[in-house]
Structure formats: structure tokens, C-alpha cells
Amino acid sequence: MKRELPFVLVFIFGMFMLLQYFVPHEKSEWVYEFFLAWTIIIGIFALALGIWSLFKVSVDKIKMHRPGWGYSYVTLAGLFVMIAFGFTKRNGDAWGLYHLWWILGLLCLGAIMQVRAETNTGRKKMYFVVSLVLLAATVAISIFDNTWSFHFYTSEGLENTLFRNFFDYIMIPILSTMFALLAFFIASAAYRAFRARNLMATLLLFAALLVMSRFNPWIPGAEYVAKASTWLMNVPNLAAQRAIVMGIGLGVIATALKVILGIERGYMGKG
Amino acid sequence: MDFTTFLWMTFGVFVTLATFSFLYKDNPFYKFAEHLVVGVSAGYFVIILWHNGLVPNLFQKLADGDWYYLWLNSSEPWYIVPAILGMLMWTRFSREYAWVSRWPMAMYIGISTGIAIPLTMSTYINKQLYATMTLSFDNFWGHGGFNLLDPYSGLSNLIIFVGVISALIYFFFSKAHEGWFGRVADLGIWTLMIGFGASFGYTVMARISLFVNRIQDVDDWGKVAWNSTVEPNPNYSNWFLVVFWGMVLIIVVYIIKEIVQHFSSKSKAQTQA
């Protein structure tokens, strides 16, 4: 029951979805859409596990005062404000007590963390009372302040100014800078990769240099270099990528068949 | 631009510089930016998946039902099943009942793999094979005359065909790479090397363009702070400069602190020696 039923389920659902692809009927399409929605729903519920894991790791770090524990507050604050902003929106132009609401919410979260982290009983009680007061204030504002409201079933929260600002001025700059950092680290990797030791390494070097010179207007014969680079990307590179993609495709199909037939069982975990 | 937007822009530049500071070494500014982006990204994806995944695929399907009937009176009550399965995933929180989470996991994997096989076969293999095999030798030497750099010429098509076949032969390990087979496999390696080189160069250029974009953002921020944009800002005030110098001060103070720390640790090491 614990191990056999999942194998049977994988086989039945896998074969069913595999075969329905070849049935050219609108009901088959409906079944496809229906089960696709299943995977989306189950996947999103599984996301809660990941968020819980992030929360628990951060809380444990604070509780144990592990190195860099203070930064876990930053992670938790980022997580909770983003969720709070995504479910709320102003009803008009006035902010009302909105900023006070989310700041009190964050302080409440901090107080709850302190309740968990504190070893002194007296201070633990004090933080508990503080967290209750802050929670009551947060709830009271959310009930009585009419300048903003919660939106769980409509996507108005996505238009919340603060949600958008957090995305535009925090998430995008940090993520793109992290990828931009690789421009520097890749330079040292390039030194090792680009040494022309044999024909193959020379081909690698030549192809990379040609692609990198593609948009450089100052090198001699820039027009021909750009043309050669475009040709290289669209012809020999295309051939290589096509062969790699076919290899990946065969690998995906082989692995999927192994999973459906119960040969590959890694997803079951232990126990 | 109003002052609030400028403050947000300033914070964006601050986290940009904080992240770039990792090039020097791991430091509190970088750690702050790193931890912040982890939390904000997680929160962002929760919201996006909620509004774009759960709402249209679950809540809207059950919207015409009533909670006190457990939505069984809705027009599509069967959508409760994946919700229940999804909740069964949470049995992972319990050591005793964690095995129950294998059922939804099994359905998820079964459905995903079942869908993946024909789709992968179609897009990753059939369409690639079709595109490779539908050879056209028209305009063999290039469109509009002799042009070897024409990627759509018949010659280029032939090179793609030979390249794909030789690279696939290189990946075929059931036969020893000897004789003519080995020579074709060698051609396959050369093709793959050109492909890897091009991918490497392309990645480098993508990172460089991201870097340029970040620098442009910092530059734009400086221009807004000094009101030297093409169109002068009607909402400009001296507070813009106060924020600008505040940020410069933070950077300068940190650099001075690092220099002092560097020399004090050096002199301490010399004293100990």
C-alpha cells in the first residue's frame, strides 16, 4: 500500500496521458486540460512545503543564533511583506493606515520570532504579550481601515504599488546584478577554456571570439565579422544544438518511460 | 519623477552596488541583498502562482458552489479532487503519515511523464529531424549571387545536415569510433566544439549586456539626483541630493572601514611575527 499503490498510480496516469495524445477528439483534449490543471494545483499546494521549509530554516537560524542569524529576519520580512502586498490593494488614492498595518505585521512577526528564540521565561512572556498586542492592532486595522482591502480571489493585488515597487526596485536589480556578476567570473573561466592547445580548443576559441565580436563596431571589417558570426550561430552552431537537443529528447523519453514502468523510483524517497 | 519614486530608485541602486560588492569579498551589504532577494522572490512566486495558477484553475472552477456543501454543488465539483490531493502533500509535515504524500506525488509524476513523452518526441526529435532532413539545395552558393555567409543557402543547409548527422554519430557509443565511423565522429566533435564555443560567447555577451544595463541604471539614478536628465524634473528638490550624498557617504564609510581594518590586521600580524 505504501509503496505499491504509487507505482500503480504512476503507471495508470502515465499510460493514460501518453495514449490520450493520440486520440483526436475534443473529449480527449478536455481530459488533457483537466489533468494539466491537476498538476498545476498539486504543484502549487506542494509550494507550501517549500515556503514552510524556508520559514523553518530561517526561524531555526534565529532561534539557535547561528552565524548570520540576523539576516534571516531580512528573508522573512521580504517573504511576508511580498505576500501581504500581493493580497491587498488600495481602494482609492489614500494610503490610510496601510503602511502602519504592514509595519505592525512585521513587528508582530519579529516578536513571535523572539518568543521562539528567547530562553529567559520572563522575557519570553513579555514578547508573547507584545506579539499579541501587535497582532490585535494589525487585525483591527485590517478590519476597520476602509482605504484598502484584501483580494484573495481576484488578481488586484498584482497591481498593488508596493508589490510592483518591490519587484521593480528590489527583485529585478538584485537578480540581474547577480547574473551580471558572472560576466566577471566567466572571464577567469574563459582564460582556462580559451587556450588554443589543440584543434578542438582552437575551434572553441574561434567560435567564442567570433560571437563576442558580433556587435563590436570598432574592429576592422566589423560588417563581415557580424555576418560571419550570424552564419556561425545559424549554421554550425544550429547543427550542434540540434544534435544536443535530440540527445536530450531521447534522454527525457527514456527517463519518463523508466518512471512509468517503475524502473526509476528515486522520486519515492526513502521509507 | 516624484521623491518617493526616487527613493525606490535609490534603494534599487543600493542593492545593485551591494550585490556588486561581492566582487571584492563577501560582506554585510551583499549578505543583506542576498537574503532580501531570497525572501522577496519566494513571496513573489507565491503570489504569482496563487493569482495565475490556483485562482483560475481551482477557485474560479468552484466559484459557483457553496462552502457549506464543500463546493460539491458547483458545476465542476471534480476540481475538489486535486485540491484534496494537493493537501495530502502536506502530510510530509508528519513523520508517521508522510507516506501518504506519495499518492499525489505519484499522480503528479504520472501525468507529467505521460504528457512529456509525446510532446518531447514531437518537439525535441520529430521536428528537429524533419527540419534537418527537408534539405533544399536551392540557391546553393547563396541568395543573389555567390555568398558563403548566407545562412539560408543550399550549402549552409548541407553543412547543417552533415553537422547534425556527424554529431549524432559522435553520441553513438554502441559502435567503436574507428575507421570512417571514427572520422565522421571526429567531425561531430568539431561541430560540437563550435557549438559550445558559440554558446559560451553568447552567454558572455548576455552577462555583459546585463552588466551594461545595471551600470546604465546607476547612471540614470545619478542624473535624476543631479537633475541633469534631458527634461528637467518639475518635482526636483534638494532632498534628491541629500539622498544621493547619503548613499555616497555609506559607500565611502564602508571603504574607509575596510582600509583601516586591512592595515590594522596587517600591523597586528607583523607585531605577532
Q: For chain B, give me the number of helices (H) and strands (E)?
A: 8, 0
> Do B82 and A42 count as a contact with CB atoms less than 8 A apart?
yes
SS3 category, B124 = helix
Pairing verdict, β A148-150 and A88-90: antiparallel
Q: Which of B156, B165, B200 to mutate to test the interface with A (most CBs of A within 10 A)?
A: B200
Looking at the complex, report in whole angstroms how far the Cα of residue A129 sits from the nearest Cα belonging to chain B.
27
Looking at the complex, report in whole angstroms how far the Cα of residue B181 sits from the nearest Cα belonging to chain A.
17
For residue A119, the model assigns a pLDDT of: 81
Q: Are the C-beta atoms of B48 and A90 separated by less than 8 Å?
A: no
What would the pLDDT profile of A139-157 be if each residue is shown by its tens digit?
Answer: 999 999 999 999 998 888 9
- Which residue carries 557549438 as its cell? B195
Q: Are the C-beta atoms of B223 and B236 separated by less than 8 Å?
A: no
Nearest Cα to A7, choosing from A218, A198, A266? A266
> Do B57 and A157 count as a contact with CB atoms less than 8 A apart?
no
Q: Measured on CA atoms in the order B180, B181, B184, B185, is the torsion positive or negative?
A: negative
For residue A196, the model assigns a pLDDT of: 66
Q: Which of A53, A85, A241 to mutate to test the interface with B (most CBs of B within 10 A)?
A: A241
Q: Phi and psi for A148 in degrees, rounded to 5?
A: -145, 165
**C-alpha cell belonging to residue B12:** 534599487
Task: Give the Cα separation of B170 and B195 in Å (integer).
Answer: 14
Q: Are the C-beta atoms of B241 and B221 separated by less than 8 Å?
A: no
The ipTM assigned to this model is 0.89
CB atoms within 10 A of CB B197: 29
Please name the residue of chain A whose CA is at the shortest distance from the CA of residue B117.
A253
For residue A116, the model assigns a pLDDT of: 82
Query: Running along chain B, 273 residues long, what does each successive block of 10 average in pLDDT?
Result: 93 96 92 97 96 92 86 88 93 89 93 95 95 86 85 92 95 92 94 93 92 95 93 91 94 92 85 80
**Radius of gyration over every alpha carbon of chain A, rounded to an integer in angstroms:** 28
Partners of A89 in the beta sheet?
Answer: A149
Of B114, B128, B211, the CB nearest to A260: B114
How confident is residue A271, by pLDDT bands cut at 50, 70 and 90?
low
Q: Are the C-beta atoms of A225 and A216 separated by less than 8 Å?
A: yes
**Cβ contacts of A241 on chain B, cutoff 8 Å:** 195, 199
Looking at the complex, report in whole angstroms how far the Cα of residue B62 sits from the nearest Cα belonging to chain A.
11
Partners of A88 in the beta sheet?
Answer: A150
**C-alpha cell belonging to residue B210:** 546585463
Task: Give the Cα separation of B184 and A43 in Å (integer).
Answer: 45
Please check the confidence at residue A132 and state whether its pLDDT lies above 70: yes
**C-alpha cell belonging to residue B227:** 537633475
How confident is residue A218, by pLDDT bands cut at 50, 70 and 90?
confident
Task: Give the Cα separation of B34 and A71 in Å (integer).
Answer: 9
**C-alpha cell belonging to residue A176:** 540581474
CB atoms within 10 A of CB B200: 21
Looking at the complex, report in whole angstroms how far the Cα of residue B162 sits from the nearest Cα belonging to chain A.
8
What would the pLDDT profile of A17-66 be if each residue is shown by its tens digit?
Answer: 999 999 989 988 899 989 999 999 999 999 999 999 999 999 999 988 89
Of A13, A235, A240, the CB nearest to B110: A13
For residue A197, the model assigns a pLDDT of: 74
> Do B149 and A54 count as a contact with CB atoms less than 8 A apart?
no
For residue B267, the model assigns a pLDDT of: 84
What would the pLDDT profile of A64-94 be if each residue is shown by its tens digit?
Answer: 889 999 999 999 999 999 999 999 999 988 9
> Do A207 and B194 count as a contact with CB atoms less than 8 A apart?
yes
> Do B107 and A50 count as a contact with CB atoms less than 8 A apart?
no
Question: Where do runs of H (alpha helix) occur along A213-265?
Answer: 222-234, 236-260
> Do A35 and B54 count as a contact with CB atoms less than 8 A apart?
no
> Do A41 and B86 count as a contact with CB atoms less than 8 A apart?
yes
CB atoms within 10 A of CB A81: 21
All structural domains of chain B with their residue ranges? 61-115, 135-236
Q: What's the mean per-residue pLDDT of chain A? A: 91
